[in-house]
Structure 1
C-alpha cells in the first residue's frame, strides 16, 4: 500500500484520515461501525447502538506523527471500543495499544465506592497496513493468559488486523470480517464500477462505500480532502525519518556494545548488527578517538 490516493481512483481509501472519519467515525449512520466492530471482535451478538466518546482521548485522538487516527466509543452494554488505524510503520504499536487500554481502564475505576465486578469489557482494535506481528494470521485476538496459554482474564481484549497478510480474493470472502478487510484493502484500487464485488451491495458496506465516493464530493469537501492528503503525506514522511533515526541509533548502540564487550572480528559484528563493515569501522574509529 505505497500510495493511498491517486487522481484516477473513484473511492477514497478507508485507511486514510478522511476515509476513516467518513466510515468508522460516521456519527449520522453508525451501521458500518457497529457491523465492523462485531466482525472485528468475532461475536455473534449484534451491537445495537454505539455512542462516541468525545473526550476520552483528548489530545490523543489524532497522532499526526504517523497518520494514526483513533476512535473511542461504547455500545449499549457499556463495552468500550478503541480503534486505531495505522498505515505508517509503528515499532511500538503494542505499547500504544496497552497505553490506550489502560488509560480507558483507569478512567473506568472511580474513587470511593467501587465494585470491580461491574467493569465492562475493553476492546482495543489496531488496523495496520503493514505486517508487524510474527504470526501468519491476519486477524489476531489477544487476552491475558497464563504460561499454559489458558485464559486468565478477558476484560481487556486486543484485536489486530494486518492488511498485508490478507490474501483472499473476492469470491473467497464469506464472513463479515473477510468482506470488511477485503473492502479496506481494495476499495481505493477500484477505477471502474464494473469491478464492484457483489457483497458491496450489502447495506452496512454500502453505507461506508457511499461515503468514500469521491464523485459525490462537494467542492469544499474535495478541497478539505486534498488538504488532508497533503498534510498526512508530510506527517508520514516525518515519521519515517524519525523511525529511520531510531533504527540507526539502535544499530550504533549494538555495534558499540559488541566492540566493547566481545572479541568478535569486525565482519562478524557487522553481520550481527546487519550493517556494513565500513559502518562498524567508523564507529570503532570514533570510540578509539574518544579514549
Structure 2
C-alpha cells in the first residue's frame, strides 16, 4: 500500500514538518512536551544551523535545527537515526558552540549565559539491555554527586528513545503520547485518526500529506526516503551477518584463516553499503559494525 503521509524520520520529512518558519507552532508544541512547565516556549526563531570553530583545524558542527526562544535561550534539535559509539560525547561537543557564541567582546562581560538545550530524537535505544525499559524521555543536567542536587540548570540534554513507544491509539493518555504515536506511525497511517483531531495535529497532517507536494518536493522526499531505507537495511544486514559469523565460528573447528577472510569481506561490504547512504560518519559506521574507526577508513580506501 502506498504511503499517504511522509516519514518524519527522513531528513526531508523532519525538516518539512518541524523546520519551516511558517509552521513553527508545530515545533513549539512538540518541544513543550519535552520541557518542564517552568521552561515552556512561547515563541522561537530559527537560527543558522552551521557553526564554525575558532580555528580552521577544528571540526565544525551542523545541527539539524537550531532555534532561539523568546528569552534568548538556545535549542539544538537533532534527529538521530543510527547509534554511534560516542553519541553522548557528540551531544556535549555540540552544546559548546551555542555556549561559546554567547561571549561578548570587552572586559565588561561577566560570563552570564543563557540556557542551552540539546535535544536528541533517537530512532534507536541507548542500550539493548535497559534497566528502565519504559522510560522514554530523559532529561539530564549537571548535578552534585553526593546530594543529587542540580549544580547547574542552564545546560540541559533531553533524549527521546522513540523505539520504546509501542502504545496503540486507544492507549494514548496525553498530548505527549499523541506526538510519540505520530512520530512512530505517521508513514503507516491512511487517514487521520479521530483521536488526533486537535488543531496542531490537523496542521501536522496537512503538511505531511504527500498528495499536496509539488513534483520537485516529491522527488526530494523520495531521495531522502531511499537514503533512510538504505541506511536501515544495510545496518540490519550487517547485524545479521555479524550474528551468522558468530554462529559459524561456533560450529566450525580450525580453518582460522578462511573464516577471518570471510569475516573481513563481509565487513568490507557492509562498510561500503553504509558509506553509500551518505548519512553516517566513520565513527557511526564503526559503532554499528563493532569495529575500529581505523578499519572503516582502511575499507574506505580499498573501495
Q: Distance in 2 between matches of 1:246 and 1:81?
A: 31
Structure 1 partner of 2:136: 138
* 1:23-172 correspondence runs (5 A): 23-43=17-37, 46-54=40-48, 57=51, 60-61=61-62, 70-112=64-106, 113-117=108-112, 119-133=113-127, 134=130, 135-136=132-133, 137-148=135-146, 149-172=148-171
- How far the C-alpha of 1:84 sits from its partner, in A, is 0.4
> Is the Cα contact below 8 Å between 1:120 and 1:155 reproduced in 2?
yes
Q: Distance in 2 between matches of 1:87 and 1:40?
A: 19
* 1:276-291 correspondence runs (5 A): none
- Residues 46 and 160 (structure 1), Cα distance of their counterparts in 2 relative to 1, 3 Å cut: closer
Deviates more, 1:129-138 or 1:52-61: 52-61
- How far the C-alpha of 1:83 sits from its partner, in A, is 0.4
Q: Distance in 2 between matches of 1:209 and 1:231?
A: 23
> Is the Cα contact below 8 Å between 1:163 and 1:185 reproduced in 2?
yes
Structure 2: state its 5+ residue gaps. 53-59, 233-273, 296-303
- How far the C-alpha of 1:176 sits from its partner, in A, is 2.2
Q: Distance in 2 between matches of 1:12 and 1:231?
A: 14
Q: Distance in 1 between matches of 2:121 and 2:51?
A: 18
- How far the C-alpha of 1:223 sits from its partner, in A, is 1.4
Q: Distance in 2 between matches of 1:78 and 1:151?
A: 22
Q: Distance in 2 between matches of 1:245 and 1:50?
A: 35
Structure 1: state its 5+ residue gaps. 1-6, 63-69, 253-291
- Residues 111 and 235 (structure 1), Cα distance of their counterparts in 2 relative to 1, 3 Å cut: farther
SS in 1 for 2:22: coil
CA RMSD of aligned residues (A): 2.5
Q: Distance in 2 between matches of 1:24 and 1:11?
A: 15
The answer to whether structure 1 residue 219 and structure 2 residue 189 are counterparts is: no
Structure 1 partner of 2:178: 179
* CA deviation map 1:221-256 (0-9, x unaligned): 111212233345566722398326862339x9xxxx
- Residues 197 and 90 (structure 1), Cα distance of their counterparts in 2 relative to 1, 3 Å cut: farther
SS in 2 for 1:220: helix
- Residues 109 and 244 (structure 1), Cα distance of their counterparts in 2 relative to 1, 3 Å cut: closer
> Is the Cα contact below 8 Å between 2:42 and 2:69 reproduced in 1?
yes
SS in 2 for 1:97: helix
> Is the Cα contact below 8 Å between 2:141 and 2:157 reproduced in 1?
yes
Q: Distance in 2 between matches of 1:35 and 1:60?
A: 26
Structure 2 partner of 1:202: 198
Q: Distance in 1 between matches of 2:43 and 2:90?
A: 27
